[in-house]
Amino acid sequence: MVSSSVESVKFLVLGSGIGGLSLALKLADQGPVSIFTKGKIDEGASRYAQGGIASVWSKKDCFEDHVQDTLVAGAGLCQIDRVQLCVEEGPRRIEELIKWGVEFTRRKDVSVDPTEVFDLHREGGHGKRRILHADDATGRAVMDALIQQVKTHPKIEIFEFHVAIDLILSSDQRTCIGAYLLDEKKGYVKTVLGVSTFLATGGAGKTYLYTSNPDTATGDGIAMAYRAGARVSNLEFFQFHPTCLFHPEAKNFLISEAIRGEGAELVDQSGRAFMKDYDARGSLAPRDIVARAIDFEMKKSGNSSVYLDTTCFSEEKFKDKFPMILKKCESLGLDPSREPLAVVPAAHYCCGGVWVDEWGQTTVKQLYAVGEVASTGVHGANRLASNSLLEAIVFADRISKKMNTENKDPLHSHSVVQSFQWDVGQATPLEEKIDIAAAWLELRTLMWNYVGIVRSDRRLEKAHRRIQMIKEEVRQAYWENLLTRDLIELRNLCHVSDLIVKSAMSRKESRGLHFNVNWKSKDDLLFLKDTIL
C-alpha cells in the first residue's frame, strides 16, 4: 500500500507562525507558495507571544544600545554581525507589519512629544523602552493581520492538518527536494516535492514537562533537518520563562515580562523581594538569571512557587496595559491588583536550532529555516526578551531576497517522480496508545528533572542512557505501525531530547541558559564557541 498523491510545488513552507507567514507573503511575489501546517493556521507559539517586538523606534534609543543589550544577554555567543543586521533592519520590518495591518498600541498622550507615537514597553535585559506591543496580545495581533494577508493572496495555498514526517533528499543526499506529510483528515501520507523547502516549524517546548508552549511545539523541524544531514547548533541553551502562572487550571499561561518592566516585583512567600540578592538589576535581570533565582528560592524554601507582586497596579492600569492577563486572572478567581500571583518557570524558547547562515540557508541545499527552529547566531546563549519576533521577520525578509537571486527551475527534473511515493510496507494500525502516552510522559519528565534549569554531569548522563532506550522503543513503534500525529511527534521529541542532552554534555562550563553545578564557571578559553552537532 502506498500514498495516493505525489504533488509538486515551487515554494514549500512548513509551518504557519510569524516567520512562515511573513516569508510566504514575500515569496509569493516570486511564484506560488504552499503552506503546510499541522493544525489550524493560527495554532503555534507565535499567537501566544504577549510581550511584543523589540526594535529601536524612539529617538531616545539607538541601534548601538539594542545591539549591546542583546550581546550582554547572549553571554558571549551572539554573532555580532547577525545581531547588527537584525537590529538595524528592525524598524523597516516593523513598518511592513504596520502596512500589513498590525495595529500596535499607541500612546494616549502624545502632546509632550508628537514624534513618540507608540507606547513602548521595557523588559528584562533592555536598557531602554523599545518593545512595540498590541496591549498584552502582540502575537495574536500580528498573526491575525498576517493570516488575513495570506488567505486573500492569489498565489498562496494553505493546507491545514498536515503533519510533516521527514524531508526528502535528492539521490546524492545533498539537496532537499520536498517532504512527506501525513494528511490527518484523509488519513494518508502525501509526497510533496518543492523547488525550495522552508522550515518554519517553531520550537520544542513540549520536550519538557512544564512549558509555556502550545501542543504543536514538538521540535519537528529540528529533528527532520538533523535526520536529513543538516547541522544543528546550541541546543543546550533552552530558555525557561521565569513567570508562568502557577494555578491548576492555568496550564501554560504566561505573565508577560513587561509587567516587571512596569514595576512588578518577584517576592517570596513572606513578601520579600529577592531578586537583588542575585543581580543588581533585580526583577529586570535577563531571563536565565531570573529563572535560576526562582528555581533556587523554590528549592531553598520547599515551596512550589514564588510570587509576582502586581499590587502596585490599580485595576484601571491593568485594564489599560494588560487586559488579556487581567481577564485570564479574573476567570480563575484572581485579582492581581490586590494579591500577588503565584508563578513558576516553564520551558519557553529554544535558542539553538537548525544552523543557518546570514541568509537563512541550512547546510543542506535548498533547505532554509526561519523563526524559532533556526539558529541564526542572534540569540547566543540566552535570548533577549522580545527579540524572537524581530529575528523571525528580519530573516524571513532575507530569505526572500536570497530566493530572488537564485532563479531555480520550476521543479526538479528527477527521473521517476513515483520513486518518492510513500510506502507503508508491512505496517499495521496502532492497537494501543498507552505505550505512546507512557513514553511521552516519561521523556518529558526526564528532561524536566535532569536537563532543566540547573544540570549536573550525573543528571545528564542518566538522561542520556534512558533516552537511548526510549528512542529504540519509539523507533520500533515507528516502523511497525501506521503513522499517527502522536507517534510522529514522539519520534521527533526523542531525537530533539537526545540532541539537547548531547549538546549539554559537551559544554563543560556554565554560560547563559546552560548551568551545570559541576562546571559553575564560564570558560571562554575552551567554550567561547557554538555547539555544533
- Provide the grid cell at 442: 516519561
Cβ atoms of residues 478 and 428 within 8 Å: no
Phi-psi region of 507 (alpha: psi -120 to 50; beta: other; left: phi over 0): beta
Phi, psi at 367, each rounded to 5°: -120, 125
What three-state secondary structure class fits 32? coil
Q: What single DSSP character describes residue 242?
A: E
CB hemisphere CA count around 230 (13 angstroms): 34
| CA 25 – CA 172 distance, rounded (Å) | 31
- Provide the grid cell at 180: 512527506
Q: What is the pLDDT of residues 297-318, one digit of tens each?
A: 998 898 989 999 999 888 888 8
pLDDT for the residue numbered 1:
41
- Provide the grid cell at 167: 524531508
| CA 13 – CA 61 distance, rounded (Å) | 35
Q: Look up 272 and say whether it is catalytic.
A: no
What CATH class is the domain 5-237+351-404? alpha beta
**Catalytic pick from 129, 287, 398, 455?**
287
Residues 6+ apart with CB under 8 A from 299: none
Residues 6+ apart with CB under 8 A from 83: 67, 70, 71, 74, 377, 378
CA distances to 141, 421, 422, 503 from 515, in Å: 35, 45, 43, 13
Short-list 157, 244, 220, CA closest to 372: 220
What CATH class is the domain 426-527? mainly alpha
| CA 308 – CA 399 distance, rounded (Å) | 40
CATH of the domain spanning 242-346: 3.90.700.10
DSSP conformation letters of 144-202: HHHHHHHHT-TTEEEE-SEEEEEEEE-TTS-BEEEEEEEETTTTEEEEEEEEEEEE---
Other CB atoms within 10 Å distance of the CB of residue 388: 26
CB hemisphere CA count around 64 (13 angstroms): 1
| CA 189 – CA 195 distance, rounded (Å) | 20
Instruction: Write out the chain's pLDDT in tens, 533 residues.
Output: 445 678 889 999 999 999 999 999 999 999 999 999 999 999 888 888 888 999 999 999 999 999 999 999 999 999 999 999 999 999 999 999 999 999 999 988 765 566 678 999 998 889 999 999 999 889 999 999 999 999 999 999 999 999 999 999 998 899 999 999 999 999 899 999 999 999 999 999 999 998 999 999 999 999 999 999 999 999 999 999 999 999 888 877 889 888 998 899 999 999 999 999 999 999 988 888 999 999 999 988 989 899 999 998 888 888 888 888 999 999 999 999 999 999 999 999 999 999 999 999 999 999 999 999 999 999 999 999 999 999 999 999 999 999 987 756 545 544 445 567 788 877 788 776 778 889 999 999 999 999 999 999 999 999 999 999 999 999 999 998 889 999 999 999 999 999 999 999 999 999 999 999 999 999 999 999 999 99
Cβ atoms of residues 502 and 464 within 8 Å: yes
| CA 164 – CA 255 distance, rounded (Å) | 32
Q: What single DSSP character describes residue 418?
A: G
Cβ atoms of residues 289 and 513 within 8 Å: no
| Domains in the chain: boundaries | 5-237+351-404, 242-346, 426-527
C-alpha 114 chain-centroid distance: 36
Cβ atoms of residues 26 and 147 within 8 Å: no
| CA 480 – CA 478 distance, rounded (Å) | 6
- Provide the grid cell at 80: 555580532
Q: Which amino acid is at 149?
A: Q
Q: What single DSSP character describes residue 8?
A: E
What three-state secondary structure class fits 502? helix
pLDDT for the residue numbered 414:
46
pLDDT for the residue numbered 110:
62
